[in-house]
């Protein structure tokens, strides 16, 4: 059973999701204590996506570094505090081990979810397009994106609840076009009819 594509997808979300989770944890810790002295392995282990500070932390990620204020200080001060914390805590292995074992779908479960390399019936949860249909569109030169060298040929991974992690039950397979359009703006329920229209349009090209 060849699962190289699934393994590659898993490695990608593994590092990306840890980096994002750690950043959210540090921002939430900063809201409570700007010195980040309270940011340690114990508080990291008790932190989760339901933390009451999460919405404020996500807002902070979007703010301008100097103009907008966060906790009554420029966002650049938050960045400085986080960078200082990372320099002091060079060994993140205990944090990663906890996150990978408790806050991320396991590699085995992910491979079961994503499937084998040769599964051309793997489909998008929103538009229902399969990888086989996408391959046919590419062969017919009916795909317009310039990103085919890096994205589009295989299903990507989307989170049903964008403010939660890549956990079992919170991920779906998603084509490049739906993933690119959905972003974090639409819920899965809101985006489904939009996705079906994307699928309808792509199939019209396929059936020319």
Note if the pTM is more than 0.85.
yes
Helix residue ranges, H only, the chain: 4-32, 41-46, 54-61, 75-88, 93-102, 107-114, 131-139, 176-182, 188-206
The DSSP-derived string for 73-86 is EEHHHHHHHHHHHH
Tens place of pLDDT for every residue, the chain, 208 residues?
Answer: 799 999 999 999 999 999 999 999 999 999 999 999 999 999 999 999 999 999 888 888 777 665 566 667 778 888 899 999 999 998 999 999 999 998 999 999 999 999 999 999 999 999 999 999 999 999 999 999 999 989 999 999 999 988 889 999 999 999 999 999 998 889 999 999 999 999 999 999 999 8
pLDDT for the residue numbered 75:
80
The DSSP-derived string for 28-75 is HHHHH-TT-TT-SHHHHHH--TT-TTHHHHHHHHTS-SSSSEETTEEH
Tell whether the torsion through CA atoms of 80, 85, 88 and 92 is positive or negative: negative
Alpha-carbon distance 20 to 24, whole Å? 6
Q: Strand pairing partners for 173?
A: 157
């Amino acid at each position: 059973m060849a699962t190289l594509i699934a393994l590659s997808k898993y490695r990608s979300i593994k590092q990306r999701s840890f980096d994002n989770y750690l950043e959210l944890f540090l921002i939430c810790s900063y809201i409570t204590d700007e010195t980040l002295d309270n940011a340690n392995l114990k508080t990291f282990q008790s932190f989760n996506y339901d933390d009451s500070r999460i919405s404020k932390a996500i807002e902070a990620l979007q703010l301008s570094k100097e103009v907008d204020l966060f906790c009554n200080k420029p966002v650049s001060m938050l960045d400085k505090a986080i960078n200082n914390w990372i320099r002091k805590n060079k060994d993140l292995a205990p944090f990663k081990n906890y996150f990978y074992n408790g806050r991320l779908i396991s590699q085995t479960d992910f491979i079961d979810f994503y499937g084998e390399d040769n599964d051309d019936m793997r489909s998008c949860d929103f538009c229902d397009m399969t990888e086989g249909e996408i391959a046919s569109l590419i062969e017919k030169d009916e795909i317009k994106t310039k990103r085919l060298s890096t994205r589009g040929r295989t299903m990507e991974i989307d989170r049903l609840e964008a403010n939660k992690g890549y956990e079992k039950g919170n991920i779906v397979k998603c084509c490049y076009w739906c993933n690119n359009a959905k972003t974090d703006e639409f819920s899965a329920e809101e985006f489904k009819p939009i996705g079906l229209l994307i699928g309808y349009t792509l199939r019209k090209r396929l059936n020319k």
